[in-house]
Amino acid sequence: MRGVSLVSTPEATSGAAEAAPPDPDALYEELRAAASLAVRFHAALAAHAGVNITDVSCLGALDKNGPMSPGDLAAHTGLSRGGAITAAVDRLEKSGYVRRRRDDEDRRRVLVELVRDGAYTRLRETLEALEHSYGEVLADYTDDQRRLLLEFNRRINARLQERTAELQHQK
């Protein structure tokens, strides 16, 4: 059953396919394919935006979490707190994606924040189109199925985060 693909729509998998449980190897292969496609998408997105994949990771962290210090941004992206994060912020600032500003509560502290117009607007539109297509796929599933998918993804992401941390500490 190794050749089974779980990329098909829920309608196409009804009937006989529901009688037999999916092959765990097929599930694993689909997870690997999704991870590989995500890397390729982010590389294409970076090229489209005129930045590198590390910069896209920084933009994603800022979009999700709001303004943060360069050190916090480094922690969210896995970059070193020294030259790597400084170089990334410099590139993004030069490209018009971010700006540095003083923290209103502690003027000694510098924050990095997204510039939510211009270049970032175009990048965000690309991401929203992808999110919309995800929504179209999810609309084919029941609330219970979506809850199961959410739980599955949370657990898979937690495992991936654990393994990533292990690898980072094995240097």
Is the predicted pLDDT of residue 4 greater than 50, yes or no? no
Which pTM does this prediction carry? 0.77
Domains of the chain: 23-116 (1.10.10.10)
Percent over 90 (pLDDT), the chain: 68
CA–CA gap between residue 134 and residue 138 (Å, rounded): 6
Write the pLDDT tens digit of every residue in 122-159.
888 999 999 999 999 999 999 999 999 999 999 999 99
Cβ-contact 74, 85 below 8 angstroms: yes
Q: What is the mean pLDDT of residues 113-126?
A: 88
CB neighbourhood size of 165 (10 A): 11
Structure confidence at residue 158 (pLDDT)? 97
Average pLDDT over residues 82-110: 93
* pLDDT above 70 for 16: no
Kindly tell me if the per-residue pLDDT of 2 is higher than 80.
no
